[in-house]
Chain A
Amino acid sequence: MSGTFTKAMARNIFYGGTVFFFLLLVALTFDTMSGLPKSDNRANLTPSVLAGKHIWETRNCIGCHTLLGEGAYFAPELGNVYPRRGPEFIKAWIKSQPTGAPGRRQMPQFNLTEQELDDLVAFLKYTSEINTQKWPPNIEG
């Protein structure tokens, strides 16, 4: 009687509440998607940048590094490595891995071509220019 009714009410609140908040999430998602062009510099999403993203993914850079704070915490944040180090350093660094320093964390050698390196750098440059609400707090990431 009142117990069953209460469970039914709890059930209705569950379904109602879930639908309510899912719709709200969808509404906010629509608003976010329409607002993204203001922060994502999509005009700069060149084929080179897209190719660079593909390199980033197929070498699983995120398995050691973070990108905009997301990823693994073994190696430095790379969302702002472009302003931190510049394109030439980045390419030279990747070409010279692993360092082989005993006991130090090691990065593999990926045998990337010059084009692939340029694409990857383009991707990292693009990433550093996304409006991330001033994150990270400083150049060290």
Chain B
Amino acid sequence: MNTCAQTLMPSLPVQAPAPAAAVRHLPGDLAIWVFIFAELLVFGVFFITYAFARSNNVELFNAEQLALDRTSGAVNTVLLLTSSFLVVRAVQFAQAGESRRAAPWLAGAFACGGGFVVVKLFEYAEKIAAGVSLSSSTFHMFYLSLTFFHFMHVILGMVILVAMWNGARNGRYGPDNMNGIETGAAYWHMVDLVWLILFPLIYVMR
């Protein structure tokens, strides 16, 4: 049945009228959105679990939360927001056909990510020296697990930024080839978004 129809070549090409610009283009590839969804799902589950654990240990969580370094957390928030802005600018340049001009903006985003990593490492060093570990308390377990899991995503994101920077430098991106840069940008924004939830949830909210 279907196979018959497929093997017969129509003598006149029949084309459906192209839909107007009403069809919005999903930046990046569908597969990356599957992964972004999966990532958000995992973080979401982690956050919900945190909330659940907290509801059983409110006093402990509140007390130990006070010992967290909110200043470095705030600095990190600024760094990630800035880097996301820089990535947006880079994507705009690529869209405008100026791939090579996007490169320095991506480098800037990478630098902000690097700043995040440095701040985080100092924060961890201080906490570990103070005796915080995965087994020292439930709050500490969540604090370390969630921030470390996110931290690893930042590092992975930085690797992706390097790949994007390289592609931009080589003039690979343009209005008809935005897939790679948009996909990478989507991933970085996701990493940023997760931090925007994580920081208030773990460091601030009481």
Contacts and interface: CB of A to CB of B under 8 A. Distances in A.
Complex: A in contact with B (CB within 8 Å): yes
Interface residues of B, number: 15
A2 B29 contact: yes
B122 interface: no
B152 A20 contact: yes
Interface in A1-25: 2, 5-6, 9-10, 13, 16, 20, 23-24
Contacts of B183: 9
B188 to A, nearest CB: 14
Contacts of A100: none
A31 B156 contact: no
B179 A35 contact: no
Main secondary structure of the interface of B (DSSP, over half): helix
Contact of B179 (A2, A16, A23, A31): A2
B135 interface: yes
Contacts of A38: 135
B31 A9 contact: yes
A9 B29 contact: yes
B29 A6 contact: yes
Interface in A46-79: none
A138 B149 CA distance: 36
B32 A9 contact: yes
Interface string B148-178: 0100100010010000000000000000000
Given A10-B31, A31-B134, A35-B135, A5 B180 contact: yes
B137 to A, nearest CB: 14
Interface of B: 29-32, 35, 133-135, 149, 152, 156, 159, 179-180, 183
What are the 3 tightest A-B residue pairs by CB atom distance, in nearest-first order? A6-B29, A10-B31, A6-B31
Interface of A: 2, 5-6, 9-10, 13, 16, 20, 23-24, 28, 31, 35, 38
Given A5-B180, A9-B183, A28-B134, 19 more contacts: A5-B29, A6-B30, A6-B31, A6-B179, A9-B29, A10-B31, A13-B31, A13-B32, A13-B35, A16-B159, A20-B152, A20-B156, A23-B152, A24-B149, A24-B152, A31-B134, A35-B134, A35-B135, A38-B135
